């Protein structure tokens, strides 16, 4: 039996919180106060520009976020799908259900259909897979963390600085073709819907055997999505308070 997505579940992806952005924190505060009141909360990855569970500098920097997510998860079912910017999180989140890359994509039941959920960075070539394996190794990260601390966290600060200058809101040409090729190559199970973040495109397509949904980047337009199950399954886009639709 697959876990179920409830009517009123909320999906938010790719907030890329950093020194220039704090909208995700305001969003979490609104969830905690029940101004935004979902039945479940799905954090679909890359919620931070960089959060690695073995790196002290980053854990300390985003401690108020971690604490707030954990507080929310005491009373609300919260899933956190690790992305390529936030990983090795299971030991810093106790109440939150962390889904690491090896568990992705994960099948959920949504009404009478099956949906495949992931951050979106699961598949790639040999080089990408090798890099992913190395960078998510706790032993490698512990060693890097020691060097980072000895050098006044110069590694973390350098990566953060580089990420601040990255343009994450660009449109991808031929996106539908890219996704269709990716799914055909890597997904060999019967599924009704596929939903993921990572690409920041805020687009959906109807293919022959399934519907594909790519969530927008919260960092780009402060959008999140509420699930409506009746009369049809829909992911209804909402905006954080204070932003125009």
The pair phi, psi for residue 233, each rounded to 5°, is -70, 125
pLDDT value at residue 128? 64
Report the C-alpha gap between 200 and 166 in whole angstroms: 13
Q: Are 58 and 89 in contact (CB under 8 A)?
A: no
pLDDT at 208 over 80: yes
Average pLDDT, the chain: 92
- Going through the chain in order, the beta strands assigned E by DSSP cover 4-5, 10-12, 40-43, 51-52, 77-81, 86-87, 97-99, 106-110, 113-118, 193-196, 203-206, 211-214, 223-228, 234-239
Instruction: Give tens-digit pLDDT for 100-122.
Output: 999 999 999 999 999 999 999 98
- Tens digit of each residue's pLDDT (9 = 90 or more) over 15-63: 999 999 999 999 999 999 999 999 999 999 999 999 999 999 999 999 9
Q: How far apart are CA 126 and CA 59, in angstroms?
A: 30
Convert 8-21 into a string of H (helix), E (strand) and C (coil).
CCEEECCCCEECCE
Rounded CA separation 212/198 (Å): 14
The pLDDT score that the predictor gives to residue 100 is 95
Q: Nearest to residue 94, comparing CAs of 106, 108, 116, 78?
A: 78
Confidence of residue 243 (pLDDT cuts 50, 70, 90): very low
Is the distance from CB of 3 to CB of 109 less than 8 angstroms? yes
Q: What is the mean pLDDT of residues 219-226?
A: 96
Q: Is the pLDDT of residue 164 over 80?
A: yes
What are the chain's domains? 4-239 (3.60.21.10)
Q: Is the pLDDT of residue 13 over 50?
A: yes
């Amino acid at each position: 039996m697959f876990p179920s997505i409830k009517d009123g579940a909320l999906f938010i992806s790719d907030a890329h919180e950093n020194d220039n952005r704090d909208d995700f924190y305001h969003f979490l505060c609104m969830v905690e106060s029940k101004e935004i009141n979902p039945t479940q909360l799905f954090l679909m990855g890359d919620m931070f520009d960089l959060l690695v569970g073995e790196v002290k500098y980053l854990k300390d920097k985003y401690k108020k976020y971690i604490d707030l997510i954990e507080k929310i998860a005491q009373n609300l079912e919260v899933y956190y799908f690790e992305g390529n910017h936030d990983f090795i999180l299971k030991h810093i989140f106790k109440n939150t259900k962390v889904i690491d890359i090896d568990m992705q994509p994960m099948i959920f039941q949504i009404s009478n259909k099956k949906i495949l959920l992931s951050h979106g960075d699961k598949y790639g070539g040999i080089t990408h897979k090798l890099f992913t394996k190395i960078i998510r190794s706790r032993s490698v990260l512990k060693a890097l963390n020691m060097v980072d601390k000895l050098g006044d966290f110069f590694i973390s600060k350098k990566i953060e600085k580089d990420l601040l200058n990255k343009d994450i809101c660009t449109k991808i040409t031929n996106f539908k073709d890219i996704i269709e090729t990716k799914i055909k190559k890597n997904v060999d199970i019967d599924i009704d819907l596929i939903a993921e973040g990572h690409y920041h495109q805020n687009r959906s397509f109807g293919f022959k055997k399934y519907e594909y949904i790519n969530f927008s980047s919260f960092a780009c337009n402060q959008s999140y999505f509420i699930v409506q199950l009746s009369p049809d399954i829909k992911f209804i886009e909402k905006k954080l308070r204070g932003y125009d639709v």
